[in-house]
């Protein structure tokens, strides 16, 4: 730890003037900031300044062409009487509230299923995981075709079982369920995280429970779930954040329709900004999304986070 000090003693003139006057901790500070300087610069340039611009935009009306016009709190007021915003919120919340828990349940179930040391299990892991890395644009094209009322795979299967033709993407009642089903195809990401978590639970706990005569359900209830709670919590947060930002499916498959049934918040922001060219209001809705996500994260941390069981609390 005194390498530099020794160097200085042997040959002070070899050291630059500035360096000589700095203490070790000062030098560490400079080095540290030099290392993280790309992030700090990026944070200022691509985050803080845009955030300030967004703040400026919330009190202006601007269509990119004429000069921005100060409108006071008009944009914020419009949040409360915008007839489309409740629809966008409803679509986004419904999607999140159904798709995220359902996705967690399924991916957890699949992880349990894969947490077996059977011959050939690796092949199944690969198959279950693969859909989650398919590009969203490609899977949007694919699922638009799968959900096609007349010729799509989904209705072909339903009809071969004697079911009715479901107007998946044509009906406002079915479009959102269709996009939720599509999202379940790619649960592979959270499934693998669950699987890794399951494999991290020491066998000794289960063995001890078996000696106590615990059955399958009891082991799940009293060992697996508590041990897995940090992982479940992590997947929950990631799931919320991702589903609140759902865009590609609504943009490419349904274009927000039919009758605005899949007008997700991000799609609404995109449209407001780049089709209606209402930059001020788009920024205002962006802020709303920001506060919703912050609030949700807070609630999740507050009410679910403190039930999470950590084996080694703190770090």
Partner 1 sequence: MSSSDISLSESTSVSAFEEQAPPSKSRWMHWFTYILLIAVAALMLFPFLWLVSSSLKSQVQIFAYPPEWIPNPPIWQNYVDAMTFRPFHIYLRNSIAIASLNVIAVVLTSSLCAYGFARIRFWGREFWFSIVIATLLLPSIVTLVPQFIIFTRLGWIDTILPLTVPIFFGGGAFNIFLLRQFFRTIPEELADAARIDGCSEFGIYWRVMMPLSKPALITVAIFTFLASWNDLIGPLVYLRTPDTYTVAIGLAQFRGALTTRWDLQMAAATVMVLPVVVLFFFAQRYFIKGIVMTGLKG
Partner 2 sequence: MSPKLSRRSFLRMAGASAAGLAAGAQLLPKVRVFAAPNGQEVVRISFAGWGQVAEQDGVVAAIEAFQAENPGIEVEWRHTPDTDFTTVFLSNIAAGTPPDTSFIASNNYETFRNQGLLLDITDYITNDPLLGQPDYFLPQEAQRSADDNGRWHGIGSTWVAPHIYYNAALFEEEGITPPGFTDDEIWDWDTFLAVAKQLTVDSNGLHPDDDGFDPDNIERWGVQYPFSNETYIAAAVFSNGGQMVNENGSALDSPEAMEAMQRMADLIYVHHVAPQSASLSSLGMSNTQMLDTGRLAMAVDGSWALSWINSSLLTVPIGTGALPKMTQPATHMQAHFHGALAATEHPDEAWQWLRFLATPFYTLQFMKIGLWLPSQTAQTTEEGLAEWITEGIHPDNYVDFVSEYLPNYGVAYRVPPGYVEAFTNFLNPAYEAIANGTPAVDVMPEAVRQANEVIAAAIAASS
Of 260-289, binders to partner 1 (CB under 8 A) are: 266, 269-270, 273-274, 279, 282-283, 286-287, 289
Q: How far is the CB of 170 from partner 1 (least distance, A)?
A: 14
Question: Bridge-partner residues for 60, per DSSP?
Answer: 70
Q: For partner 2, which residue of 61, 90, 219, 222 counts as binding (CB under 8 A)?
A: 61
SS3 state at 28 = helix
99, two tokens = 């798709």
Q: x/- binding map, residues 136-175, to partner 2, per CB under 8 A?
A: --------x---xxxxx-----------xx-x-xxxx---
Instruction: Tell which positions 183-242 bind partner 1, by CB under 8 A.
Output: 185, 189, 192-193, 195-197, 199-200, 230-231, 234-235, 237, 241
Applying CB under 8 A, the span of 11-19, 88-96, 162-170, 247-255 interacting with partner 1 comes to: 247-255
Q: How far is the CB of 288 from partner 2 (least distance, A)?
A: 17
For residue 140, give the nearest of 178, 95, 197 by alpha carbon: 178
Note whether 96 and 102 are within 8 A (CB): no
- The H or E element containing residue 44 is none
- The H or E element containing residue 296 is helix 279-299
CA atoms within 13 A on the CB side of 147: 23
Q: Is 214 in the site for partner 2 (CB under 8 A)?
A: no
What gap in Å lies between CA 74 and CA 158, rounded to an integer? 50
Q: For partner 2, which residue of 58, 92, 278, 286 counts as binding (CB under 8 A)?
A: 278
Q: Which does 65 bind (CB under 5 to 8 A by kind): partner 2, partner 1, none?
A: partner 2
Nearer Cβ to partner 2 (129/147): 147
The secondary structure of 160-185 as a DSSP string is HTT-PPP-TTTSHHHHHHHHHHHHHH
């Amino acid at each position: 730890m005194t390498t530099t000090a020794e160097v200085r003693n042997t040959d002070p003139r070899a050291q630059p003037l500035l360096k000589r006057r700095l203490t070790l901790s000062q030098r560490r500070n400079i080095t540290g900031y030099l290392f993280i300087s790309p992030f700090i610069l990026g944070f200022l340039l691509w985050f803080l300044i845009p955030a300030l611009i967004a703040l400026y935009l919330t009190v202006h009306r601007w269509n990119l062409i004429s000069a921005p016009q100060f409108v006071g709190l008009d944009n914020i007021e419009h949040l409360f009487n915008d007839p489309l915003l409740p629809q966008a919120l409803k679509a986004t919340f419904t999607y999140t509230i159904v798709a995220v828990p359902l996705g967690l349940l399924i991916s957890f179930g699949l992880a349990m299923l894969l947490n077996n040391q059977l011959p050939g299990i690796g092949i199944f892991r690969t198959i279950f995981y693969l859909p989650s890395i398919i590009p969203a644009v490609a899977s949007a094209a694919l699922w638009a075709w799968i959900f096609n009322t007349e010729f799509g795979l989904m209705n072909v299967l339903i009809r071969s079982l004697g079911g009715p033709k479901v107007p998946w993407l044509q009906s406002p009642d079915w479009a959102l369920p269709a996009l939720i089903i599509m999202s379940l195809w790619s649960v592979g990401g959270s499934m693998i995280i669950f699987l890794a978590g399951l494999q991290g639970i020491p066998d000794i706990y289960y063995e001890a429970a078996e000696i106590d005569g615990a059955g399958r359900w009891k082991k799940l209830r009293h060992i697996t779930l508590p041990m897995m709670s940090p992982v479940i919590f992590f997947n929950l947060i990631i799931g919320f954040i991702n589903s609140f930002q759902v865009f590609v499916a609504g943009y490419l498959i349904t274009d927000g329709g039919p009758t605005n049934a899949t007008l997700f918040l991000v799609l609404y922001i995109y449209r407001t900004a780049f089709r209606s060219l209402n930059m001020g209001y788009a920024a205002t809705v962006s802020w709303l999304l920001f506060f919703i996500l912050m609030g949700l994260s807070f609630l999740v941390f507050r009410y679910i986070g403190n039930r999470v069981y950590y084996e080694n609390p703190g770090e």
